[in-house]
Structure 1
Amino acid sequence: MEDRKDSELKTFCSRNILIILGFSSIMAVIALIAVGLTQNKPLPENVKYGIVLDAGSSHTSLYIYKWPAEKENDTGVVHQIEECKVKGPGISQYAQKLNDIGTYLTECMERARQVIPESKHEETPVYLGATAGMRLLSIENEQLADRVLTMVTESLSRYHFDFQGARIISGQEEGAYGWITINYLLGKFTQKLTWLYLKPNGGDVQETYGALDLGGASTQITFVPQDKHIESPNNALHFRLYGKDYSVYTHSFLCYGKDQALRQKLAKDIQAFSAYYYVMNFLNFTSEEPPSQEKMIDTMEKFCSRPWEQMKIYFGDVKEKYLREYCFSGAYILSLLLSGYHFTADSWKNIHFMGKIQGSNVGWTLGYMLNLTNMIPAEEPLSKPLSHSTYVFLMVLFSLILVTAVIIGLFIFHKPSYFWKDMV
């Protein structure tokens, strides 16, 4: 009778121990899964946004940029995510209708509110840079130009972004920021931009590209001199990007833009950086292998010699107001490059006409944003919930608990009598 009671007691105890071990195993598995998922779940995207408005002579465009909060060598890796063309002429044309400026920028600013997460609005800087059109207005009537900028400021300050101001940028700045954009998009500043098709080899500051910009009211040329010497201090600008210093020669020729050369506003709707690209693209000169100087001159001569009525039929899908200026514009560009900047037959092969690179416009605004991110403090990188050593310790601990519970449970289940014999 006592043997029976003793057997029942051992069975009862074994069952309870197995239940405890099973519960411990389940808890260990849950703990392993919880620690693994917590430590390895993707970190939230820690990014910043910036808005730059390019208030040109013939139109205004809004660009939205995005970059990681953890910057590289104090400069954000910035890329364009949105472009919005403001309907209407450049802001200098609103000098006599100031009250209309309030609604002028509304559509594109509303677009920015939709693209940028609402939680990021208050920390998103907004900059407006006015170029040659406003430079000309400022020369003609400085007070009127100031009133235009005041109305623009009032309009942009109504939004819950971090408005940083509206100002007229100099021709030198416009050229230099365009130079930054070109070389950034072509991979001349940082190795980490693996999506670019040209990458630097690291080490010292490497050779960069020069930049030519032809706008509506001005044209700019910017490059790093081979001997690193810039004779005129007025034509020198200095930048620090990605931990390296750059000194560039830049010069802006006001009133030598395409619109001013034509002496009439015929290019209202032609966008960003630059008339070089849009005219050359129409003439089919924007392939990866640029045509020779002789071929371009020959093509222009044939194009300009066509009768106007034949042109309208052959290029029926092109607006007349643009079609009628392509002959002059093409001839002007060739004259500017050959007679103005003195490109030769040998150096001609180094010219590339570009409108966009990797989805980003090659205007001055991206370079402006890049330079401005030097003044935006970098944030600490987001870290995992647990340190690596704590994570390893917990994973090993719970794994040992699980293995131990399974081994003891199997031993009790298969050899209960041997287990209790050892216990006694």
Structure 2
Amino acid sequence: MKERNPWHTPLTIIIAVIGVIAIVALVTIAVLQNKPLIPKYKYGIVLDAGSSHTAMYIYEWPAEKDNNTGRVEQTHCCKVSGSGISDYASDPKLAGESLKACMRDAERFVPSERHEETPLYLGATAGMRLLNIKDSAASDRVFQAVSESLQKSPFSFQGARILSGQEEGAFGWVTVNYLDDRLEQGLETTGALDLGGASTQISFISDSFDGSESPSNYVAFRLYGNDYNLYTHSFLCYGKDQALRMALAHQTQSGPGSIVDPCFNNGYSAVKNYSVLYESPCVSGRKPSSAPQTFTHTGKGNFYECQEVVKSIFNFTECKYSQCSFNGIFQPTLQGTYGAFSAYYFVMKFLNLTDTSVPLQSVKEALARLCATPFDTLKKQHPEVKLKFLNEYCFSGTYIFTLLTEGYNFTSRTFSDIKFIKKIKGSDAGWTLGYMLNLTNMIPAEAPDTPLLPHAGYVSVITVIALVLFVLFILSLRPLWPRCSQKPQIV
């Protein structure tokens, strides 16, 4: 006599095997379908043609992201040798040739299969703005030369043009906040302070500013579903190099043969040409008529006297608005924290004041010590620094201090809200990334849709559901389970 085991029937075995295979297939397909792919990247190249030099930046982002919403990161930077393209006005072909070494660099850093589809932009800032004011035909010839050079590259050249001051300020603000993940997450934004050789920009969000009082300083953005009312202004001629020209022009109005300058260290001495000093549109209208060909420029090294010289290049009295920064330009009340980059960073780095938020008094004391240091001592202390920069640190530091406090109205309470930065998460702070993000529509106006669950969570849920289905399947076969009874079934 045998006890019948329903599990041994062929139909039950077949159903069980099919059920197990189906569940394994379900989980396997879910894992394979949603597993992270080996990333492929797209690229963009931006040339920043500044007043003192040109730099090339290469950016990359995941190619698989829908609507190009992958995070953009800087992968390479190449500084073009020589000066800015505006300095090649007398020989424009050299402006185009100067870019070739960095473009060869780009060919190595961007995979060859991506060359043709990689957009290439050149944006020129205040140096070319000044050249365009001085000689628009020369400006056009420089742009023609650089465009012809870049069109020969294997990349998709999208043109070269002059950025407006407002664009330069706004795109710098976008860069700083994009890299810090403040835009996508809807966090409180950071203001942007940019200081170049020929202009300076200030950009920040102000709750009290809607553009009605000064429309030219207003930029409205809608990014990731959030609205931003941005105040931004660019001061042409107030970059550190042009500001120095204006300070020297103030001291040479009478056409002297020599000046003793408190903004240069004691022991510094150089012979300078009046025509070269006054060739810039920022000072050309002030050239003294009876000046000699040259003047001797010597240093005195006094921070407090230097600050008075620096103040002379600002107009703090004129203001037709409710409040102003300087030169009659409207500025709302400062709000939030700020990232200060470009020349701000390099000067403050020299002063060892970039690690944390810096108290205003510490900056003042450091500048007083720097300016009072004899020039020969300064050269011995910093043999690695080029003399061109070492000469000017007393002036540049004093100018930054005065611009931020007297110009933009930072106080001892708000100065520590400024952080002096060069990079954010590996990418340079500046306008170039924001410019490319705008031209390639990489930042959507509305927040992009996101999956309900991340990949790991999705796979876990599918696995749990599959196991539950398997258990239910086993339970559905309960009528076929062997029944316990006191009497065995007789076959």
TM-score range, shorter chain: 0.7 to 0.9
Q: Distance in 2 between matches of 1:37 and 1:345?
A: 57
Q: What is the CA-CA distance between 1:243 and the residue it aligns to?
A: 3.3
The question of whether the paired residues in 2 share the 8 Å contact of 1:64 and 1:82 is answered with yes
The structure with the greater share of residues assigned to helix is 1
Aligned pair 1:58/2:52, yes or no?
yes
2:234 aligns to what SS in structure 1? Answer: strand
CA distance in 2, matches of 1:42, 1:345: 50
2:205 aligned residue (213, 224, 227)? 224
Maintained 8 Å contact 1:76/1:374: no
Is the counterpart of residue 157 in structure 1 residue 225 in structure 2? no
User: Do residues 125 (structure 1) and 107 (structure 2) align?
Assistant: no
Match of 1:421? none
Greater mean deviation of Cα atoms: 219-228 or 368-377: 368-377
Task: Decide whether the 8 Å contact of 2:357 with 2:417 is kept in 1.
Answer: no
Give the AA of the match of 2:91: K
Which residue matches 2:238?
A: 256
Q: Do 1:273 and 1:364's aligned partners in 2 also have CA atoms closer than 8 Å?
A: no
Is contact 1:216-1:259 (8 Å) kept?
Answer: yes
CA shift for structure 1 position 76: 4.6
Q: In structure 2, what is the equivalent of residue 279 of structure 1?
A: 347
Mean Cα deviation higher: 52-61 or 362-371: 362-371
Q: Which moved more, 1:277-286 or 1:155-164?
A: 155-164
Unaligned ranges ≥5, structure 1: 1-27, 192-201, 266-271, 382-387, 397-424
- For residues 122-146 of structure 1, what are the alpha-carbon distances to aligned partners after superposition, in whole Å with 9 as ceiling and x for unaligned? 1111110000000000011111111
Partner of 2:375: 308
1:163 CA displacement: 1.0
- Structure 1 runs (4+) deviating above 4 angstroms are 34-42, 70-76
Q: CA deviation at 1:296?
A: 1.3
Whether the aligned pair in 1 keeps the contact of 2:357 and 2:418 (CA below 8 Å) is no
Report the Cα distance in structure 1 between the residues aligned to 2:443 and 2:148, rounded to whole angstroms: 24
Mind listing any 5+ residue stretches in structure 2 that lack a counterpart? 1-20, 246-275, 278-339, 445-449, 451-458, 468-491
Q: Does 1:332 align with 2:399?
A: yes
Structure 1 residues 40 and 229, CA gap change in structure 2 (3 angstroms):
closer
Mapping of residues 72-221 of structure 1, within 5 Å = 75-191=69-185, 202=186, 206-221=187-202
User: Are 2:230 and 1:236 aligned?
Assistant: no
Cα separation, partners in 2 of 1:210 and 1:36, compared to 1, 3 Å: closer
On the 8 A contact 1:183/1:189 being kept in 2, the answer is: yes
> How far 1:367 moved relative to its partner?
1.1
How well do the aligned residues superpose, as a CA RMSD in angstroms?
Answer: 3.5
Is residue 341 of structure 2 the alignment partner of residue 347 of structure 1?
Answer: no
Structure 1 residues 111, 282: closer, same or farther in 2, change over 3 A?
Answer: same
Question: For 1:37 and 1:299, how far apart are their aligned partners in 2?
Answer: 60
Quick one: distance in 2 between partners of 1:42 and 1:293?
49
Counterpart position of 1:407: none
What CA distance in whole angstroms lies between the structure 1 residues aligned with 2:66 and 2:432? 20
- When residues 174 and 71 of structure 1 are mapped into structure 2, their CA distance, relative to the original with a 3 A threshold, is farther
Where relative contact order (Cα < 8 A, 6+ residues apart) is larger, the structure is 1
Question: What is the CA-CA distance between 1:37 and the residue it aligns to?
Answer: 9.8
Question: C-alpha separation between the residues in 1 aligned to 2:33 and 2:114?
Answer: 26
CA spacing shift, 1:246–1:74, aligned 2, 3 Å: farther
What is the rounded CA distance, in whole Å, between the counterparts of 1:372 and 1:322 in structure 2? 35
Q: Which amino acid aligns with 1:109?
A: M
| Structure-1 residue corresponding to 2:227 | 245
TM superposition score normalised by structure 1: 0.73
Post-superposition shift, 1:46? 3.7
Partner of 2:438: 371
Aligned-partner SS, 2:116: helix
Q: Secondary structure in 2 aligned to 1:288?
A: coil
Report if the CA contact (8 A) 2:209-2:231 is conserved: no
